[in-house]
Chain A
Amino acid sequence: MEAPLIRFPTGPTVNRVSSVGFLNEVLIDYYRTVMQARDRGQLIAYVFDGFPTEILWAMNIVPVFPQKYSGMYVTQSARPGCSSGVDIFNFIEGQAGYSQDICASARASVAMALYNDELERFGNPLWSMPKPDLLISANNICDTVAMYAKEIVKRYDIPAFCLDTPYIFGDPDPNAIRYIVRQVRELIEFLETISGQRLDRDRLVEAWINSARATVFWSQTLDLAARRPSPTCGLDITNHLLPFIMLRGTEGAAHYYRTLKAEVEERVRTGVAALPNERHRILWDIDPVYHRINYFGQRLARYGAVVVGILYTYVTALELSTAPPASTDPDEVIEGLARVIYTFHLNRDLDNRLRLVAHMVKKFGVDAMVINTNRGCKACSGLLYEVNHAVRERHGIPVLTIDCDVLDPRFFSEGQIETRVDAFLETLD
């Protein structure tokens, strides 16, 4: 099966990392694995950001992320013969009765999951998404996931597991950790029943070690943006998050991040910068605007501004930071996984968020911040005005707030955004 290349945003001004070619190889390889899964007798599980794929890879079950498929569908839609990335939203609102006020990623994911055949009419720019054999949702990134997963489960009538991750106000709660450990064990039993095979505990340990390696390489890569000038642009590096979410636990993911890190290190050594005339270093909270990655990269570059850190990308690399070191004891691995799921930064309160922002401001030598409130995202964006107030008070750096839906291009007003971004950047000079 011929899988089309993904066109990652590029720009004349932003000097992006060349591992992007390798990224395409890795992702196409993943896509082949997905499309051949049924022939190989492998089950396909729908899962969502924040879910640890280690367990699935260890059990030879192939994870498919509707969020990632739909994200790529929208961002790749600007190809000849394809829709502009708007049809998917018009369709799901008209056909399925979804409100345009809810998360765009959720709307597009449901559209991909349930109406793939109809979407083909618009000219699918990238990959078809296979139907699921089972679904697992974890609510550590938001409650939204569990809500729209209900619709997918109901319509396909497939087995499903809800991994419930109580939100953390203040410090992690031992009672909640016990709850999640117990659920991870139940999840393993659930998967064993459906697949008819026992979890190979050695493979779980192996996946965990691969995962720890990938995390270290990934976080070290992101940390290199602290150098001046920054070797990478955060908006560009966000593309490289995909294998981390979809393939974590595989040897391929560990190898991928080792390669990426080597390339960025080489840039530091030879003095290659993302932006040769870097004058301003921007922190971006929380997601980039996925359908305009290139646009923002170039717009900022005109003023010598480079994004050195993106909160959403950065927290993924911190996922394993609270876990015990790579362990060879399967029971410890299960506890470690539970802890990783639970303490994920999006599952934590405002104080934690502000500590994280403070850490990034300092670490990356940030002198301005862009906050994008994402219309559909109540979980991450609801706190952004507070982040804005706190950053100004505590760090004394200027903050620009913009309102763009990160996926739905209908809620993006280029003229308005341009005026605001330009005015803001002019004041920095």
Chain B
Amino acid sequence: MSEILERLYGVAADPIPYLRSWKAVGRKIIGWVCTYVPEELVHAAGMLPARVFGDQTPLSLADHRLPPFMCTYVKEILESGLRGDYDFLDGIVFAYMCDPIKDLSDIWARNVRPMPRENVVVPVKMNTAATRDYFVGELERFRARVEAIAGAPITPAALRASIDVYNRHRAAFRRLYALRAERPEVVRVADIWAILRSSMVMPKEEHTALLEPLVDELAGVTRHDGKGRGPRLFVTGNLCDHPPLLGLIEECGGVVVSDDLCTGTRYFDGPGIDPDAPNPLASIADFYLNKPACAVKCNYQIADRGEFIAARARATGADGVIFLLVKFCSPQNFEYPLARDVLRREGIPHILLEYEWNERGSGQMQTRLSAFIETL
């Protein structure tokens, strides 16, 4: 394994000690939940934005705070908070997204060690001038809160610089995914996991400095072991952060060529942000309003996610689509019947797999996956 990858695997495997080491040298760390949190503003205030992960431990504390029918992803985040894993944070930011995340925000605020808590109330519809004006206003409010936590104002120069950092990082990711679609045999799912997960906690400039040469390095690799040559698959769903589960796809003979996940393209894909725009916040707002949308978003007037998924699957040359959903996710479950019908119409084979955040892939899932991949 390349040295760079090894480094990223190290951070991804154990992000909390990594973050604590930043804390030890005096960096303020702001946790975030949901990829709609505008990290650029936290970065521009000189703080380190870091995704709060739930791990896969058995639930005990969170079960007393959330009913059984809430998704295990939200519960695992709460579990880690209640256990004190994130007590070192200088603040936490939730993006108002689905109902469970807004519940999580309030339950966190009442039960986890007191820390500044912010909510970015992202609009539900994304495509009108009124929405944009509202969201720019919301970002202005958020900026003031971030400045208060940082104890210093965000200067225009700092914001410009942060936008550049994020643009460059996202561009590096798009190159990585282009390579993945073209030559999936050199970009395995476990590598993608390590790269993405580390990127969510490391300072972006540092991560970019590793990611850019890594993409070059991977592009130069040739594989002769015959692996990575099976049916090409596109994975869509809410999010999946488990190498064993994603690895199951490869074990069953498939190759993942791209995805539509919050732990995937939905983290970095979207239009570039203009750092020299008269109002950079409006430019940041445009990125979040126009990035590939979460299923919870409601745009009656534009193409739905089914068509988006079909188009992406076609563009990346996928032979089939896997809907991989954390159980009890209402937005994805509502989206599924519509998206499924679009894929049927387009003649794209697909399968639905549901899992719990704290499970590692069952025998049944393996059987279904194998059967699906064999038919391709």
| A contact set with B: CB distance below 8 Å | 96-99, 101-103, 106, 137, 139, 142-144, 146-151, 153-154, 160-162, 164-167, 169, 173, 175-176, 178-179, 182-183, 186, 349-351, 373, 375-376, 378-379, 381-386, 403
Given A173-B141, A385-B65; A164-B106 close (CB under 8 Å):
no
Q: Which residue of A lies closest to B330 (CB)?
A: A102
Neighbouring B residues of A349 by C-beta, 8 Å: 102, 106
Is B124 in contact with A146, judged by CB distance below 8 angstroms?
A: yes
The 8 tightest CB contacts between A and B, nearest first, are A382-B103, A350-B106, A179-B134, A175-B137, A146-B298, A379-B99, A147-B334, A378-B99
Neighbouring B residues of A186 by C-beta, 8 Å: 128, 130
What's the nearest-Cβ distance from chain B to residue A171, in Å? 12
Neighbouring A residues of B119 by C-beta, 8 Å: 167, 169
Contact sample, A vs B, 25 pairs, CB 8 Å cutoff: A101-B327, A139-B124, A142-B99, A144-B334, A147-B298, A147-B330, A147-B334, A148-B334, A149-B298, A150-B335, A150-B338, A162-B298, A164-B125, A166-B138, A167-B96, A169-B96, A175-B134, A175-B137, A350-B106, A373-B67, A373-B69, A378-B330, A383-B103, A383-B107, A385-B67
Is A166 in contact with B99, judged by CB distance below 8 angstroms?
A: no
One digit per residue, 1 when the CB lies within 8 angstroms of any chain A CB and 0 when it does not, for chain B 308-350 equals 0000000000000000000110110111111010000000000
B295 at the interface (CB under 8 A from A): yes
B223 at the interface (CB under 8 A from A): no
Partner of A382, one of B99, B124, B296: B99
Q: Which residue of B lies closest to A353 (CB)?
A: B106
Within 8 A of A (CB), among B78-129: 96, 98-100, 102-103, 105-107, 110, 119, 121, 123-125, 128
Is A102 in contact with B334, judged by CB distance below 8 angstroms?
A: yes
Neighbouring B residues of A385 by C-beta, 8 Å: 64-67
Is A179 in contact with B130, judged by CB distance below 8 angstroms?
A: yes
Neighbouring B residues of A98 by C-beta, 8 Å: 333-334, 337
Is A137 in contact with B298, judged by CB distance below 8 angstroms?
A: yes
B70 at the interface (CB under 8 A from A): yes
Q: Which residue of B lies closest to A182 (CB)?
A: B130
What's the nearest-Cβ distance from chain B to residue A334, in Å? 14
B131 at the interface (CB under 8 A from A): yes
Neighbouring B residues of A166 by C-beta, 8 Å: 96, 121, 123, 134, 138
What's the nearest-Cβ distance from chain A to residue B224, in Å? 43
Given A98-B337, A148-B334, A176-B134; A384-B67 close (CB under 8 Å):
yes
Given A101-B328, A142-B99; A178-B134 close (CB under 8 Å):
yes
Is A161 in contact with B300, judged by CB distance below 8 angstroms?
A: yes
Neighbouring B residues of A149 by C-beta, 8 Å: 298
Query: In whole angstroms, what is the CA distance A175 to B330 when docked?
Result: 28
Is A151 in contact with B338, judged by CB distance below 8 angstroms?
A: yes
Neighbouring A residues of B337 by C-beta, 8 Å: 96-98, 151
Is B99 in contact with A144, judged by CB distance below 8 angstroms?
A: yes
What's the nearest-Cβ distance from chain B to residue A101, in Å? 5
Given A147-B296, A378-B100; A102-B130 close (CB under 8 Å):
no
Q: Which residue of A lies closest to B138 (CB)?
A: A175
B133 at the interface (CB under 8 A from A): yes
Neighbouring B residues of A150 by C-beta, 8 Å: 298, 300, 304, 334-335, 338
Query: In whole angstroms, what is the CA distance A381 to B99 when docked?
Result: 10
What's the nearest-Cβ distance from chain B to residue A1, in Å? 32
Query: In whole angstroms, what is the CA distance A186 to B131 when docked?
Result: 12
Neighbouring A residues of B70 by C-beta, 8 Å: 378, 382
Neighbouring A residues of B96 by C-beta, 8 Å: 166-167, 169
Is A176 in contact with B121, judged by CB distance below 8 angstroms?
A: yes
Partner of B107, one of A97, A139, A167, A350: A350
